[in-house]
Each structure stands twice: as structure tokens, then as C-alpha cells.
Structure 1
Amino acid sequence: MQSPNTYSNARFQSTGVQKLSLGLLMIAIVCLFLADLSIETAEPWQEIGRIGLGMLAPSVLSFPELLSSLASTLAFALLGVTVAALLGMLMAHLFEWRLIRIIAAFIRSIHELFWALLFLQVFGLSTLTGLLAIIIPYTGIFAKVYAETLEESDQTAYNLLPPLTGRWSSHLYARLMVALPQLIHYTQYRLECGIRSSSVLGFVGLPTLGFHLESYFKQGYYSEAAGVLYLFIAVIALMRFWAKRRFIIPLLIMSVAWLPFQTTINFDLVLRFFGHDILPSPLRQGGLLNLESWQQTLDWSITLFNQQALIGSWNTLILTQIALVGSGITALLLYPLISPLFFTRNKRTAGHLFLVILRSIPELILAFIILLITGPSMIPAIFALSWHNGAIIAHLIGRYTEIINLRVDSPKGGDLYAYEVTPRLYKPFLAFLFYRWEVILRESAILGILGIHTLGFFIDSAFEELRFDRALFLILITALLNILVDSVSRTIRRKLRLSTTPNIESLTR
């Protein structure tokens, strides 16, 4: 029998979840009225037809070049994710230190494309640029997730250790070994994300699959673009076969052998970039010791904030909130596709394939395809973010339905979905949604390079104009905005006790 306090807490959480869901929906509706939803192309249906014909008749323009790009995509992802996982694990063991948490939060808050644009100015289109663009943000992501996984794992063995047990020994044998299956599972998922990130680096000129996708779509070679896209989806879909643990070491060795590491580092260029180019222009002109220069720098910052950062942040937040709710609606609509409670095995196979396709295509590439149809507005970004993130969440919560026990007199069809299954999955669904909030914000910012006036638009413009001081200022604004959203998300999850692991009793009762 539940105690009064337990019943009161459960009722409070239920009411809080309802208010939160309604609040998010209302905010998204208001944001829709504020968003740019215009269609700029004169003949969108003809463009849809041309893209559709290309998708139905894929072809390959240069097979050796395509395989070379695929090898580079996988090599960047494998090496970048491996190094980031090792560094992230090291940071996770020190995560109780505030400095470590701040560093992890900062480096993961900046999108890998922004890191690539920064390092591009110093190292050019080199292997080092691609690897650093993946390693740095992924290290922060790994540190956070690994630390949370270690904290939530069974602490029995750790608590029974003798008082004088060394710090690293206790972490290694009593915490790491207990949580190892979950850590491996997440690392495999992050490798899938790394492949998507690696392909997107082609948009800044690195020789990955994204470079060919952008080129073919821009030139209207839709059949060739379809060939590249299908190859990319196949690589993601077949990861369970080629990304097994026994293959990882040979693949890493081949990755090192494949990527060219003969990057020549010009230290004068490095010192100029970090010691001069990224400094605010008033400081460069007046000097660091000039008080008037600092006053001018303050005025420069306020002007840049009002003219660009404020507009970019506003549009980024509007897009984020619409896409957040759109992702949630997409997930709730799609999770039954892979659930044994709703469909037969053959139909679930088709559902799994559909979700794999949606979550395999990076948001930037998906938005770029839709942009060719609608023109530069928030419409491509909304659909791309909603479909991609919704498919990921649908896959995650759809698996939980496999352990749900239904009553003999349970309803069927729509009533089963609305009154029996979805209510049991709703809290873990919200937890996953809020975990994706930070990711959606990062992607909303970067989609500005497609012409949407989010922060990425102004950052990309600053790089094109070689105004690196403005670019860095706007990137820092992006990072602060991301950290703020992550903090709000963690507060909401903690207050409502939202966990991505559902209550087993609620699923099997």
C-alpha cells in the first residue's frame, strides 16, 4: 500500500508532466507564428518530381572516388570517436571536479562544424582539422554520459571497498566493470553519430561523403546524389555487422593508414590566429594595455550582440522549440512501427528500416534536400530536425514495448495506443526528448549555414568575411545558450524525476 507521501509525490509528478507537456505545446504554437515559414521557390512540385525521379534511379558517377570518400568518412569517425571515448572516460572519472564539468559542458556545446571552421583557418583542409572537429565536442559528450552512467550503475561493490583502496583502482574494478555493457552500448551508438558528423564535415570541404552530396544536389545531379545517400544509409544500417568489437582494432589500423597525416603546421600562422586574428578588432588596433581599447571593445561587443547575436539567438530558440515539439510528435507517431504490440514481425522490419533511414541522414543533409524544394526558410530545418530526432526517440522508446505485459481485457487499436501503452512510456519519452533538447539547439544553430538566420548564419558570414573575432564571439554566444538550455533540461528532469529507464513495474504490471 502506498504511503500518503508517495501518493502525493506521484500525483505531483503526474500533474507536473501534464503541465510541462501542455506548456511546451503552447510555446511551440506561439513560435510557429513568429517563425519564417515562407516558400521561396516558384515551382516546388517540379523540384520534388526531379528529386523523386533521381531517388528512384540512383547512379554512381565515379565509383573509385565514392569509395575513397566512404573510406575517409569512416576513418575520421572511427579515429575521432575512439580518441574522444578515451579522453571522455578520463574526464568522467574526474567529473565531480567543477572545472572538469565546466570544460566538458563548454566543448560539447559547440557544434563540430563550428570547430571545423575554426581549425580550418589554422590547419587548412587537413586530417588534423577533421579529427579535432570530432574529438573535441565528442570528448565533452562522452564525459557527461559516461559520468552519468557510472553514477547510476550499481554501487554495491564500490561501497564495499576498503577505505584505503586507490582512486583509479576503485573506479576501474568496482565501477567501470559494472557499467561496462552500458558504456559499450553507448559508445557504439556514438560511433553511428560520428559517421554522420564525419559526413557533414564534407560541407566545409573535407573529402567525406557530405562533400559529394552537397555538390551533386547543388548541380541538380539527383541520381548521383541518391547513389551517395543510399550508400551512406547502408553503412549505418549494416553497422551491427561491420562494427563488431573484433573488427574495431583492424579498422582503426586501416584508418590510420588511410588518412594522410603529413600536415605541416605553420606555428607563425597558429600564433597569429590565436594571438591576433580572434581578438576583438578594437584590442588589435589599440593594444591590450590601452584602457580606451577595452571601452571600445565593450561597445563593439554590445553592437555585435544587438545586431547579430540577439537576432540569431532569437531565431535559434524559435526553431529549437518548434523542432523539440515536432520531434516529440514524430516519436509518438512512429514508435508503434517497431512495437510487437501493434504490428507483425514483417511489418516491424519495414518500420525498423524506415526509422533507420530517417535517423541515418544527418539533419544538415536532410535540411539541404528540403531547402531545394522550399527555399531558405525555417521549413527545411523544422522538418529535418523533427524527423531525425523523432526517429531516434521512436527507436529508443519502441524497444521498451517489447517487455510490456498487457491484460487479457486490454483494448485494441487506437485505444490500446492512447490509454494503455503510451501512458506507460510517456515519462521515459519525455526524458529522451529533454536529452535531445541540447542536441536540437546545436543543430538549429548550425543549420544557419543554409541561409536560415540562426546563429550559424552570422557565424558562417563572419568566416566568409575573414572576421574571425566576430565568428568567435558568436560561437561563444552559441555555447552559452547551449549550456543554459542543458541546465534547464537537467533541472526539469531532476524535478519531475524523468529517467530514460522506465519503471519496470509500470511496464509489466
Structure 2
Amino acid sequence: MFSYPTVKVSFIFLGIALLGLLAADIAITASSPWRDLGNFFLGVVTPNFFSTEGLLTALLRTVAFAFVGVALGSLAGFGLALIYRFLPVRIFCAFIRAIHELFWALIFLQFFGFHPLTGVLAIAIPYSGIFAKVYSEILDEADPEPRRLLPPGTGVISAFLYARIPDCWAQIRTYTAYRLECGMRSSAILGFVGLPTLGFYLESSFSQGLYSDAGAMLILFYVLIATIPLWVRPRLLPLYVLAAPFFLGDGLPIVWGNVKRFFTEDIVPSPIRDGEGLGGLMPWLGDLFATEALPGIWNTVVLTQIALVATGILALLTFPLISNHFGGPVRRTAGHVFLVIARSTPEYILAYILLQLWGPSMLPAVVALALHNGAIIGHLIGRQTNTIMLRSDAIEGFNRYTWELVPRIYRSFLAFLFYRWEIIMRETAILGILGIYTLGFYVDSAIQNIQFDRAMVLILITAMLNIGVDALGRFIRRKLALQTMPTC
């Protein structure tokens, strides 16, 4: 139900987003955006599945990177979850998961090049931090009763394996499957930095105006995601994980001297590297903050807050599409299809498409972030409304929406929204690589100019910003007594 604190917080965030709109660059700058948008949709409905050589190979590599990265991330995350109660471990996990997969890929590209290890580590490292946090919460919430029933003298490891793990296994398996779907999206967008996954061919097709080719790739990706429950079977998982490394492709041999130089020279701040010492470091940092960090932080925060509120509005508008309390089965089926497509499309790919069609501004990023995250939250709260039983004489139509359902799901809605706040911030930062002036823009520019020291400082700032937003989101959820760990 509505309460004064939840309404107050909602209006505060709405007010911040409206103020952000005054400072944001929200515009359509393309000369013929609607014609281009029409051509794109025409390409989607007339896909060309046979024009691009290597498309099947790219699809297999997208799956392979996802399986290997998620498998390594889940194993490392499980190990970290066992010691997650220690503060240094929590800080470490928060740091590695706060850096987006594309940022990790850009870092590893500098010394591994287009080697499969670049893509695998770009997924595995942030995912291990995510897995550690979620697995630890699942383990902490395990029912203690089975442990009390074990015979006296049972060892710690035996108690863990026979009493704790069985109680948590269903949740661990469900969340890992969800992360595999996320890994597919992460693997696809690695193609935008040159790795041979689906995003590489999608970008090539768009840059040449081959919308039918791009439409075919998107359809294949949607089919891949939608059919995961059909082909990802528990009995087949070991086979997939063992086979996946053989489909990653080959890369040039790793030059370990480049790795050493990157960590001992390239990322060392230039004043220290040039022998100027701390006296030259402060002016260097001052210039970096004034010209790149502060503008990037400002644009990242503004875009995040606008996208967060837009996500909330879209979620509240879309959950009736799949709710049993509205419409018939045909309408709900269409609603499910729309939400599946919207939440299956990575924000980065959607923002890239809209930037090509509408021109460079914050608008494509806002729409992409809101569509993806709004569809996820709309799906979750829509399913939640299906568990609500209304009286036979309950009001119908819009009054049912406003007076019966929204008040009942609003607290869960806010919990989901604040839970995804940090995720939206991560995606906002990385969208700068597409030309939007968020922190990712300045990171990418520094890397293009071979200023790795500046890039690393900006990536650290991005991580700290994400950690701060995550902590603030947890604080708000705790103060409002919202559910702290919504089920994915």
C-alpha cells in the first residue's frame, strides 16, 4: 500500500529527473529519423539470414563466450561467497562488479589484443563479484533447521554439503540460469569492441545500412534467448561448458611483455612516469577532473536519474500487458512477446540502433535504458499481480489499475527500481563509448589517444560512483522497509 515515505521519495526522484531534463541534451538530430526508423522496421520484417558469411560462427562464439565466462564467474563467485562476510572481500567484489564488462574488455584489449581470453575475462571478472554477492545472500537465508538435525560431531564441510546446499540449490540454480541469459547479452555486445561475437556483425550491417541483415541478427538473438529453457538442460550443461572453449576462436599469441609494460608503465600517471613526482601529479589530476571527470560524472548522473524515472513510468504502464486482471489471452500473449523482446535486447545494442536512426543525443540512451529495464520490472510486477486475488465485485478498468493493483504492488515496484538503480548507472557510463558524453566517452577517448593512465583513473571514478549509488539504493530500501533482494 502507499505510505507517506514512499510517496515522498517517489516525488523527490521525479523532481530530480525533471530538473535533469532541463540540463540534458534530449533531441532528435538526424535529418530523416522516421524514414530511417521505418527502413529499420522493414528490415526486421524482411530479414536476410543468408547474406553475412560467418554469422553462424558469430552466434556460436556468442554462446561460447557466455558459457565460459559465466562458468568461471560462478565458480569464483561461489568461492568468494563463502568468505563474503569479511569486509575486504565485500569491498573487492563491489569494485570488480562496479566496472562494466565493456570497460574490462577495453582494458584487456590493450595487452591481450583480440584474444579469446579478453572476452572470457571481461565477463568472468564482473560476474564473479555479482555471483559472490547473490550467492552469499542466498546462503545466509538458508533454513538453519536441517543443520540442527545432523548427528553430533558432523564436520563443517559435511554440514555445508548435506544441509545447507540442498536447501539453497534451487535458488542458486535459478539465479545462475538467469545470469547465463545476462551472459549472452554481455557476450553479444563484446562484438562492439572488435571481438567476433554477434555485436561485431550487427555494427557492420548498420554502418552499411543493411537493415535486413541487422534484422536477421536481432531475430536470431531473440530466438537464442527465448529458447534457452529448451536447450539449456541440467544434464547437458557439463557438455556445453566442456565444449565451449573449443568454439572461442583463435587469437594472436599473448605477448607477456605487453602485459608487464601495461601494469608497470602504461597505467602509471604520466607525471610519476616522467619523474616529476607528486609535485606534478596534483596539476595532472586537477586537469583530468576539470576537463573530463566532472563533466562525465555530471552527464552520467543526469542521464541515470532521467532513465531511472523513465524506467519506473514504463514499468507501471506495461505490467498490465501480462496481468491476468486485464484483457484476454491474446492481449496477454502479445504483451509477453513485447516484454520479452524489450528485456532481451541489451541496452547497448538498442542505444546503438537508436543513435544511428535519431542522431547523437541523450534521447536514444534514455529510451534504450527505460525500455530494457522497464520491461524487466514490468514483467516481474505483472507476474506478482497474478498472485493477487480480487473480489468478484471488484471495480473494472482504469479504476482497478489505480485503486486495486498499483497500491498493492507499489512497494515491490520501488524495491525492484532501486535494486536496478546501480545497474542503470553502469549501463549509462558505458553508453559513452557510443558518443554520449558520459564517463564512458572520456574513458574511450583516453584509450584511443593511448592515455591509459587517464583512462584507468576515469574507470576507477566510474566504479566508485557505481558503488556509491548501490549503497544509497540499499540505504533507501532499508529506510523504506522494502524487500532488499527481489527475486529475479
The change in CA–CA distance for 1:192 and 1:502 in structure 2 (over 3 A counts) is closer
- How far apart in 1 are the matches of 2:257 and 2:333? 56
1:238 alignment partner AA: T
* Secondary structure of residue in 2 paired with 1:246: coil
- How far apart in 2 are the matches of 1:424 and 1:147? 30
State whether structure 2 residue 329 is matched by structure 1 residue 345. yes
| Structure 1 contact 425–502 (Cα < 8 Å) conserved | no
Shift of 1:222: 0.5
Q: Return the match for 1:327 from 307, 311, 314.
A: 311
- How far apart in 2 are the matches of 1:337 and 1:478? 36
- Listed one character per residue, the Cα deviations across residues 34-71 of structure 1 (whole Å, up to 9, x for unaligned) are 10112221222221222222122111344651110000
State whether structure 2 residue 49 is matched by structure 1 residue 60. yes
| Structure 2 contact 138–171 (Cα < 8 Å) conserved | yes
| Structure 2 contact 74–131 (Cα < 8 Å) conserved | yes
- How far apart in 2 are the matches of 1:470 and 1:340? 53
Match of residue 452 from structure 1: 436
The change in CA–CA distance for 1:91 and 1:164 in structure 2 (over 3 A counts) is farther
The TM-score normalised by the length of structure 2 is 0.96
| Structure 1 contact 335–394 (Cα < 8 Å) conserved | yes
- How far apart in 1 are the matches of 2:30 and 2:285? 37
1:324 alignment partner AA: L
The change in CA–CA distance for 1:14 and 1:151 in structure 2 (over 3 A counts) is farther
Shift of 1:127: 0.6
Q: Give the 5 Å matches for 1:474-489.
A: 474-489=458-473
The runs of at least 4 consecutive aligned structure 1 residues that moved more than 4 Å come to 158-167, 500-503
Match of residue 289 from structure 1: none
Q: Return the match for 2:113 from 124, 128, 134.
A: 124
State whether structure 2 residue 395 is matched by structure 1 residue 411. yes
| Structure 2 contact 205–211 (Cα < 8 Å) conserved | yes
In structure 2, stretches of 5+ residues that fail to align are none
Match of residue 86 from structure 1: 75
| Structure 2 contact 61–196 (Cα < 8 Å) conserved | yes
Shift of 1:183: 1.4
Match of residue 277 from structure 1: 266
| Structure 1 contact 128–261 (Cα < 8 Å) conserved | no
- Listed one character per residue, the Cα deviations across residues 337-388 of structure 1 (whole Å, up to 9, x for unaligned) are 1111113233222211111100111101101111122211000000000000
Shift of 1:312: 0.2
* Secondary structure of residue in 1 paired with 2:360: coil
| Structure 2 contact 61–249 (Cα < 8 Å) conserved | no
Query: Structure 1 vs Structure 2: percent identity of aligned residues?
Result: 53
| Structure 2 contact 411–482 (Cα < 8 Å) conserved | yes
Q: Return the match for 1:309 from 280, 293, 302.
A: 293
- How far apart in 2 are the matches of 1:411 and 1:318? 39
Shift of 1:107: 0.1
Shift of 1:254: 2.2
- How far apart in 1 are the matches of 2:312 and 2:133? 23
- How far apart in 2 are the matches of 1:101 and 1:85? 16
| Structure 2 contact 319–382 (Cα < 8 Å) conserved | yes
The change in CA–CA distance for 1:73 and 1:296 in structure 2 (over 3 A counts) is same
The TM-score normalised by the length of structure 1 is 0.92
Moved more, 44-53 or 70-79: 44-53
- How far apart in 2 are the matches of 1:285 and 1:414? 68
Shift of 1:456: 0.3
Match of residue 196 from structure 2: 207
Aligned length: 487
State whether structure 2 residue 424 is matched by structure 1 residue 440. yes
Q: Return the match for 1:180 from 169, 185, 206.
A: 169
| Structure 2 contact 52–213 (Cα < 8 Å) conserved | no
State whether structure 2 residue 123 is matched by structure 1 residue 142. no
Match of residue 264 from structure 1: 253
The change in CA–CA distance for 1:162 and 1:94 in structure 2 (over 3 A counts) is farther
* Secondary structure of residue in 2 paired with 1:29: helix
1:233 alignment partner AA: Y
In structure 1, stretches of 5+ residues that fail to align are 1-9, 287-291, 504-509
